[in-house]
Structure 1
Amino acid sequence: MTKRLSRSPRWIVLTAASAALVTVTAALPASAAARERPAPAAALGATQQIDPAALQASLGTPADGLFAGAMARVGGRDGRWTGTMGAVSTDPAASFRIGSITKLFTSTVVLQLVAEGRLSLDTPVQELLPGTFPAHWQPITVAQLISHTSGLPRAVCWDPNAVYTPADLVKTVTECPQAGEPVTGPDIPQVYNGVNYFVLGMVIEKVTHHSYAHEVSRRIVRPLGLGHTYVPGWGETALRAPALAPQLPPTDPWPWAEGGMVSDAPDLERFLRELLRGRLLPSAQQKLLFELPRHAERGFTRGGVQYAKLPDGTEVYGKSGSYGGSTNGVFATRDLRRSVVYSLVPLTTDEREITRRYLSIAAAAF
C-alpha cells in the first residue's frame, strides 16, 4: 500500500456512534451468547403486512429539528416500500457513504478466503503480517478480528495534522503507550473496535496480492450486480452518482476497509439478502454469520454480522454505520421475511435521539 490517507478525528466519534446504535437492542443473556441463534419462529410477524403510514411516520418530520432528512427502504416477501423525509433525494438509487456497513463486505471477503484455504480463522495475524504487532504480544487470530474479540487497544494516540496509510494507522495504535496492550485470555470480551477491520483489509491485500477494492469488486460487487457500490479511491471525496444528501460536504473515504465504501439502498438490500441466504459463502462459513462468540456484549457474530433483538422480540441481522454526516443501517430477519435499509442525516449529536429514531424505523419495518 503506497497511497496515504488523510486522518480525521471525527472517525473516532463515528466509530463509537456506530456501536452505540445497537447497545439498546443487542444485549443478550449470557446463557445464549455461545449458541447459534435459531431461525425466528414462523409465527413472529409472519403475516404482518407493510404499513406505509407507520413507516412514513417513523421517519419524523423536519419540524422535529433533530434530523435534516431520512430515508428508509423496506423489502421482503410482503412487498416493498421506500420513503423519505426532509432534505434527502427521492431517487431510490441515490448514493451515500455507508460507514461501518463496509465491515460486512470486508468480513465476507475474509470468510471467502478461509473457504478457499488461503488462510484459516485460527491463523495468527502475526504470521500473515509479520512485524505489524509488537513481537511480545500474544497471538491474535483472524477469527478474533472478525468478531471484535481481538482485545486490540482502541485508537488513542492521534496527530490531527498527520496522514496515515492503513499500516501507519495500525502502528500508531499498537505503539501508543496510553492505549495499553491487548486484553488476552480464554474468554476475551467482545469490544467493538474499527482497528480490527483495518488489519483485516491488510490481511486481504497480503493474501490475495490485490488491492482491497479489487477483491471487493471481484468477489461481491460484480457477481451481485451492485451497480452503485464501490470502494472509492484514495482522496476521492466526491460521490460518483447523485447523493442521497447533497447538502453534506465532500468527505475523504479514508476509513477504507473499516468504513470507507459507498452504496445505495437497493444495492445494500440485495447484498444483505444474498449474504444471509448463502449465495456468497459455503455452508461452513455461512453458519458463522449467525453464531455468537462467548461474552458477545455488542451482539456481533463470529462472521462479523451485527445481531440485534428488537423490543418486540424480533431478531435481525445486518450492520449499522456512520460516516460523512449520515447514520445508516441495513438489517433483515434471518428468514428474509422483511428487510430495511435506512439513512439518517442527524442535526443532533445526542446518540439517544439517533437510537430512538432507528428503533422507531425498525419497529415500523419489522
Structure 2
Amino acid sequence: MPVRPFPALVTSALALTLTALPLAGTASARPATGTCSAAAIEAADPHGPDVEALCAALKGLPDHDATAALIRVGGRGDWHGVAGVRDVRSGAPALEDARFRAGSTTKIVTAALVLQLAAEGRISLDGTVQRYLPGLLTEDFAPVTVRQLLNFTSGLQPGASLGDDVDTAYERRFETLTPEEVVATSVAKGPDPEHAPGEFQRYGNIHYTVLGLLIEKVTGDSYAHQAAVRIFRPLGMRYTSFPAGPDPRIHGPHNRGYDWIDGRLVDVTEWNMSDRFAAGDLITTTADLERLLVALFRGRVVPEPQLKEMFTVPDVDGATMGAGLERFELNGKVIWGKTGSRPGYHTVVAATRDLSRTVVYSVSSTDAKGDGLAIAQRFAFPAFNR
C-alpha cells in the first residue's frame, strides 16, 4: 500500500530522546492553586468527589508513568487539578488549559454527527453501507447497517495501520495512510469469518473510519468541517479541532507527550494522525471535552430518540459499547464514558447518566497505548469513590 511522507517535517523533526526521566523531587507536582492544600482537602464536600484520593493521584508527578495530568471533576462538587511538567527538559509547570490528542474519544463526536443526520432524516440507522457508500464493500459482504457500525457489530475486520505498537510506528510517524486506504485493506480481508453483522461486538477503529466516510458522502462536506459547524462552534468548544491533513503538530499551548522506546524516554508530540480520521484524530482541551460531555448527556447535541442509541448496548454476548459510549460499573454506579489514547496522551471522559458525577482527564502517559486501566484507576476512579 502506498504511503506518502511529509518531507518538510521528516527532514527537520528530531526526537528528543532522554536517558532518564527527572525524579519527582526535581520537578515537583504542581496542583492547581488551592485544590490540594490541606485546608482544601479538609473542607471538601463529603458528598462530592474524593479530593484526597485525587490529590494523591497527582502527587509526585512527573514519574515513570506520566509527566503531567489534567483532571476536571464535575456534578455534585467541582474539582480541578493539574500536576507535572510541560516538558521534561525545562521542568516548566504543566498547563491546565493545554491542548492534547484525545484519541478515541473522537468516536463520541462521530457518533453524534451520525445521530444528528439520522434525526434530520438524511440517513436511516437501519440503512446499509452498501446503500450509502455503494462500491465500498465487495459482494462478499452481507448488508452492514449504520447502527452496526455505531455499536461495533459490523463484522468489518481491522484495516491497515502504520505500526502495531509505538516502538514500530514511531519510525513511520510522519507518513500518511488515508482513510480510504485503511478501509480498502479491511475490505480485502473479507467479512468476519466467524460472525455475521450484528452477532458480535468487536471494538475497533474501522467502524468509525467508515462512518467518517459516510458523513462526508451524505453531507458533501469534510468530516472536520461538519464537526466544527454542528458541534464545536454551537457548544463554544473554541480550542477543539482536527489537524489539517497530515500536519503532525499540536497548535496552541500544549504539554509535550513522551513514551518509553527502547528504554529511553522519547518526545512523541509531533505525529501525523491522519490515518485515525473520524476514529481518533481529535485535538482538544479538558474544558472543551467537559462541555461536550455535559451538553451531550443533557440532549443538547443529539435529540431523543436518537440519543438513546448512545446508551443502548446491543444484545450480544460480552457487549459493553453503545454508539460511541461504553457502559461500566464502579462502586455501585453505572458509568458511561470513553477512553482515548495516542502516543504520549491518555484521555478519559465519563459520567453518570444523570450527570451527578463527571470526570474528564488528559494524562501525559509514557505508556498511553499500553494497558490504560492502571491510568484510569489512578486518575479517574477516585472521582467515583462516593
Q: Summarize deviations over 1:66-103 as a string: whole Å, max 9, x none.
A: 22222211122312322323556543321001010001
Structure 2: 5+ residue stretches without partners:
7-44, 88-92, 164-168, 258-266
Structure 2 CA distance for partners of 1:165 and 1:348, relative to 1, 3 Å: closer
Per the alignment, residue 30 of structure 1 pairs with: none
Per the alignment, residue 72 of structure 1 pairs with: 71
Length, aligned pairs only? 320
**Bigger relative contact order, structure 1 or 2 (CA pairs below 8 A, ≥6 apart):** 1
- Residue 278 in structure 1 maps to residue 299 in structure 2: yes
% same residue:
35
CA positional deviation for 1:63: 7.0
Q: Summarize deviations over 1:193-240 as a string: whole Å, max 9, x none.
A: 100011000000000000001100010001000000012110222122
Per the alignment, residue 357 of structure 1 pairs with: 375
- Residue 344 in structure 1 maps to residue 363 in structure 2: yes
- Residue 57 in structure 1 maps to residue 56 in structure 2: yes
Contact 2:339 2:349 in 1 (8 A): yes
Contact 2:70 2:96 in 1 (8 A): no
Identify which of 123, 129, 133 aligns with 1:125: 129
Identify which of 157, 165, 186 aligns with 1:173: 186
The separation in 1 between residues aligned to 2:129 and 2:155, in whole angstroms, is 13
The separation in 2 between residues aligned to 1:230 and 1:182, in whole angstroms, is 37
Q: Whose radius of gyration is greater, 1 or 2?
A: 2
The residue identity in structure 2 corresponding to 1:363 is F
The residue correspondences of 1:13-28 to structure 2 (distance < 5 A) are none
Identify which of 214, 217, 220 aligns with 1:206: 217
The residue identity in structure 2 corresponding to 1:171 is A
Per the alignment, residue 20 of structure 1 pairs with: none
The residue identity in structure 2 corresponding to 1:140 is V
The separation in 2 between residues aligned to 1:171 and 1:186, in whole angstroms, is 18
Structure 2 CA distance for partners of 1:85 and 1:151, relative to 1, 3 Å: same
- Residue 329 in structure 1 maps to residue 367 in structure 2: no
Local SS of the residue matching 1:75: strand
Local SS of the residue matching 1:175: helix
CA positional deviation for 1:321: 0.5
Per the alignment, residue 96 of structure 2 pairs with: 92
- Residue 192 in structure 1 maps to residue 203 in structure 2: yes
Structure 1: 5+ residue stretches without partners:
8-45
Contact 2:75 2:358 in 1 (8 A): yes
Once the two structures are overlaid, the 10-residue window that deviates more, 66-75 or 220-229, is 66-75
Q: Normalized against structure 1, the TM-score is what?
A: 0.80
